[in-house]
Structure 1
Amino acid sequence: MRTPDYILDQIRIRYDNNWRDWLVSPPDALSFSLTPPTAHTIARNADAVATWLRAWQEWAHDHPTVHMRTVTRRTLIGTQQVYTHVDLHSVDSLVTLIPALEERWYTATQRYSDTSVLGVPQEQLKPYLAQIVALDDYDFSLLIRIAQWFIKNPKSGLTIRQVPVPGLHTKWLARHRSLVLALLGLPQLSEADDCDDVDVRDLDALGLRPLPTSIDIILTDPEDQQSLSGLRHIRAPLAEIAGLRLRPRQILVIENKQSALPVPDWPGVVVIHSLGNFLDALVAIPWIACAQAWYWGDLDRAGFTLLSRARTRLPGLTSVLMDRDTLSQHIDLAVIDPTGRIDPPDSTLTIAEREALAALTHEAGQLRLEQERIPWNYVNKILDKVLRGPGR
């Protein structure tokens, strides 16, 4: 014999499992079985059944819109009418039984109505309804305005910041890209909404163009500096960097800006820094192909992943300061890596690099030795040795 509290719990469970389907296709009626007592139970446990009936009578009195289905049981002690089901004629009547559900259902129905007018196929929208309902009012209103703008302007050729919808910016679109694409009926081409930038494939689907990608380089060769009016540090779009008339003997790719800035002058060397995951630049710059290439990154899992990806693009790339010796000599400067999931490296790491990566495992967690923490006198000695070469 199920109690009113038990049935309310079942209502919550059924709502949580089915509310998306109900938005798309509302049910005609909803029923919940009370597992009523049998004639045998009534005869043997009359007091318990009477208490159960009174509880439901009081509950039914407090909820007059609910229909209580009954049946008459014939027992050895006479006939007894008992409740068998709670019957509800609609989802609206169901959610009135639990105020929190009523508020959630009101929000869901309103937002489903607002999004449906955009013409999105119902089944395509269903997987995103929970995210849509979870938005605050400001973000939902902005989502609708943005979707309406893209529907009217599918191939604008603008950058994100040029889209004339107040409130739209790159980080907002990056966090909500899946919802925008869903409301436009466009496929999801990139990963989850967990970054601060928008994938170029999503920009293309939205009819937007990316900003020019800028590259940071340091001309450590005095002759290169002189040919460019004394410039040493240059940040410019990739196409402009690729077009520079440089013929470096060696390229040094450095993961972080802080470690690149102290690099002294070295004839025949160009430093490229702060590429992050934009490693395709290494094959887009023609003068890199003719140089010997070195890579120096953090001694941590992410650093070795970036190194492996860089070598996938430049097979002749050699790592420097990313070995077990450097780690062991500066182990006191390492910290526990707070980073969560890290993508595994490509299969291009050398045996020595894999050994260094394995050495990062510590009983307290994965270690991280950031490159800028290594004393510069040690760094300079190693870089001078590899960049100048034997006998230089």
Structure 2
Amino acid sequence: MAVARSAKDGMSIRRELGEYVDAYLNRHMYDTDASWPLRKTIHLPKQTELEDNYARVRAQDDAIRDWASRHQCETSEKTKIVSSGLVRQKSQLIESVTIPDLDTALRIATRTTCERYLRERRRMRELADEFGINQDSALNVVKTLKDHDDVDFRLVIQTAHYFTNHNCGTMTPRMVPIPGFSAKWLGTPSSQRRKAICMLTGQDSLDFQERPGELRLRFMDAEHHGQPDLIITRPWTHDRPTDIAHAIIIENKDTYQAMPTVEHAICIFGSGYATLERMTTLLPWITDIPDIIYWGDMDANGLDILSKFRQTGIPCASLLMDPAAYKAYERYGTMLDTKNKPLTTREPKPTPQLTFEERRLYEMLCTGTDATYLRIEQERIPIADAATIMRDQYQWPIAMPDNTI
């Protein structure tokens, strides 16, 4: 990259030179082979521009010369012949500025860049000495932790030493007995802290016993209707119920808890995308149930989840998730998401497992076409209305609610 004089004033050119050095340090902060000296080319103007704007070019040249002198940088010059009428004169113009070494560059750089560069190099030397690794490897770890403060950096070192001598396979991430740990400090398997620890210990991964996913369900028959929910954390393969003929997957807890009695049926709390990954793992026999219904919110996410559930091999029908249902309950719609943030339109994604009518509603709720609201929450629909459809359309032996709420 070179500085072009053009119409810049002296202050602009000095600022551009400083920004060039600052950018170079940031770009090569984690390189071990950054070369010095660093030569910065200054584009000279064409002959016509030089003669037409000689005073401005000279002022720019003086600004560059002053900047180089103040920062103890060398310059190289080129002789240009300038004509003014019958008078021809020689003019020495700077064509490059050379930053001799790292120390000079750090004096030129902004305070933020200088402090960060020195911190990263200090961390690199500490890791290289403490773990006996080369500078390239140490800088890779430092780069991984570039957004972490010194407390985090010290904890990573402490944790790496611990896992060099201890097997983490007998504990979960929250069980690591190191002072200064918060319960969630290690994060997920792909977190920067875990990656840095693995790089320092030479491991591919930290093979913790990860906290198991869970699935909540309840039996809907009269005998068990009032009993506590079941929390499934490992595959239910032994002593599984053999008389389940119906299952309904419900996204929202209020509706899940309010569902009435159905003999030979279970009600599963869907809880969004998270359940997709664990449904068939924790309940491997769910696909053997002859009659399965999915009931979620009427929004783009709800219909996307429905499609993905079917992709996992669960042959579920949908309940109140088509354009007719939307029009019937549109008065209950909202333009806010679960965190009370405004909903926005989006580009529809492929949903290969949706029916024609389900896909039509999905596109309405993605684009806002023919839709006043982008979301109708499941809880707003009366349980009695859903129960009527389950009884009349799907032939479920459901006990109709006494009220119409």
- Structure 2 matches for 1:94-113, cutoff 5 A? 94-100=105-111, 101-113=113-125
Moved more, 98-107 or 238-247: 238-247
SS at match of 1:134: coil
Alpha-carbon offset, residue 305 of structure 1: 1.9
Who is 2:279 aligned against? 281
1:370 aligns to what?
Answer: 377
Residues of 2 paired with 1:319 and 1:84: CA distance? 73
Deviation at 1:375, TM superposition (A): 2.5
Deviation, 1:283, is 5.2
| Equivalent position of 1:190 in the other structure | none
Q: Contact conserved, 1:215 with 1:235, CA < 8 A, in 2?
A: yes
> Matched residues, percent identical?
22
Indicate the SS of the match to 1:258: helix
CA separation of 1:164 and 1:224: change in aligned 2, threshold 3 A = same
- Counterpart for residue 233 of structure 2: 237
For the aligned residue pairs, the C-alpha RMSD in angstroms reads 3.9
Q: Which moved more, 1:335-344 or 1:47-56?
A: 335-344
Q: Tell me the alpha carbon deviations over residues 179-236 of structure 1, each in whole angstroms, 9 at most, x when there is no partner.
A: 52255249xxxxxxxxxxxxxxx9x9311012233221111112456xxxx7342224
Distance 1:371 1:175 in 2: 34
Residue 173 (structure 1) aligned with residue 159 (structure 2): no
Counterpart mapping for 1:51-130 below 5 A: 51-63=59-71, 65-70=72-77, 80-100=91-111, 101-116=113-128, 118=131
2:15 aligned partner: 5
Query: Aligned AA for 1:52?
Result: Q
Note closer, same or farther for the CA distance 1:124–1:343 as it changes in structure 2 (3 Å cut): farther
Match of 1:184 in 2: 198
Cα-to-partner distance string for 1:43-64 (whole Å, 9 max, x where unaligned): 776644543343234323432x
Task: Report matched runs for 1:196-207 at 5 Å.
Answer: 205-207=205-207
C-alpha separation in 2, matches of 1:234 and 1:251: 14
Q: Could you tell me how far 1:345 is from its partner in structure 2? A: 5.5
Segments of 5+ residues of structure 2 without an aligned counterpart are 6-12, 400-405
Q: Is the 8 A contact 2:333 2:373 kept in 1?
A: no
1:157 is aligned, of 170, 173, 185, to: 170
Counterpart pick for 1:271 among 267, 272, 277: 267
Letter in 2 for 1:98: A
Higher percent of residues as helix:
1
The structure 1 residue matched to 2:353, chosen from 348, 352, 359, is 348
Structure 1: which 5+ residue stretches go unaligned?
187-201
2:217: which partner in 1? Answer: 217
Moved more, 114-123 or 232-241: 114-123
CA distance in 2, matches of 1:154, 1:24: 33
- 1:152 positional shift: 3.9
2:402 aligned partner: none
Q: Is the 8 A contact 1:111 1:132 kept in 2?
A: no
Shift of 1:330: 1.0
Q: Is the 8 A contact 2:286 2:314 kept in 1?
A: no
Look up the equivalent residue of 2:215 and give its one-letter code.
Answer: I
Structure 1 residue 334 and structure 2 residue 311: aligned? no
In the alignment, which residue of structure 2 is the partner of 1:380?
Answer: 387
Distance 1:334 1:70, change over 3 A: same
Judged with a 3 Å threshold, the aligned counterparts in structure 2 of structure 1 residues 143 and 367 are, in CA distance, closer, same or farther, namely farther
TM-score (norm 2): 0.75
CA distance in 2, matches of 1:220, 1:281: 18
* Alignment pair present for 1:247 and 2:204: no
Is the Cα contact below 8 Å between 2:390 and 2:398 reproduced in 1? no
1:307 equivalent in alignment to 2:283: no
Report how far residue 177 of structure 1 moved.
Answer: 0.8
Equivalent AA in structure 1 for residue 219 of structure 2? L
Q: Distance in 2 between matches of 1:316 and 1:45?
A: 78
- The answer on whether the counterparts of 2:262 and 2:396 sit within 8 Å (CA) in structure 1 is no
